[in-house]
Amino acid sequence: MRVPSHRWWSYACCAAAGLALAGLGAAAPAAAAPAAAAPAAAVPAAAVPGQLAARSASRFNVGAAHSPQLLSQLAGPSPAAGLAGPGRGAPGLAPAGRLNGAEQGVDVASFQHPGGKAINWAQAHAAGIGFAGVKATEGAYYRNPYALADLAHARAAGLAVAAYAFAIPNGNGASGSAATQASYLLSFLGAQRRAVPVMLDIEYNPYGAECYGLRPRAIVSWVSAFSARIKAGTGRKPIIYTPPRWWATCAGGSTAFGKASPLWVPDYTSAGHPALPAGWATWSLWQYSSTGTVRGIPAPGNTDLDQANPAVPPVLGRRS
């Protein structure tokens, strides 16, 4: 069994802080610092008609860009394998890193704002970062209080951007409806919804059963419903972010989305290309590490690194 990474333990140990950052179902001002930590029992019921939020639902991971399981995989082989530390590759097993001609990018969440610190997007751009994915929502209960400012400031600094929803198909105490979660994101984005591409992050469940207690057919139906709502609200299908192994297990290797939805694929590998989930013949964006250090982002060693496929047309939003 893989030993959880240092970054995973950071999330687990900072659960209360993550809940404080969440805003817990209400949109906070984008530039505002997070409120003081509150115990999980104080989480208010989500405003979802016909459904009551479970006050005891665990939501420790809301501040993270991705699930602990995936971040651990993207950190590379664990210290248990005899390595020097989290994210340090063994001889012959270093991530491929930058591809020739590939624009470099990052994806961020509130975790990249420790203590309320702002990201200096101009510095990140000057350091070679050309695009950013920003976690905007999780399920139908969390809106990243930094997301709107990050999207606006990154675009102003010259980066292309995408806003993403972390899918929670079983609801985790709020609505599990795909349409509701898509609408929750679109409502948060407001007027930016047509200028900023949407990405659906569907992957390991941070809070329980890997596939959210759903069968592959139900996962595929959920992704279809989310995509349809985003298409109706923005005029285009969302980018899909999913790990190949998770997709094979939880979506049954569905091939239903590869022709209509661009792929943002997470994969730690020493190869010159990522593994692909079933249904996609190529990739548009590739997350290859979770342990990056980027000038301007106050989370050294804990920033997700991505790159765009130089062989396919760009899929992210226009720069300002």
Active site residues: 107, 201, 203
**Contact between residue 79 and residue 3 where contact means Cβ atoms under 8 Å apart:** yes
Terminal-to-terminal C-alpha distance of the chain: 45
Is there a contact between 132 and 99 (Cβ–Cβ < 8 Å)?
no
User: CA distances (Å), 234 to each of 9, 161, 182, in order?
Assistant: 37, 15, 11
β pairing state of 303-308 and 104-108: antiparallel
**Is the torsion defined by CA of 193, 194, 197, 199 positive or negative?**
positive
Alpha-carbon distance of 168 to 175, in angstroms, equals: 9
* Tokens 């285009």 -> residue: 236
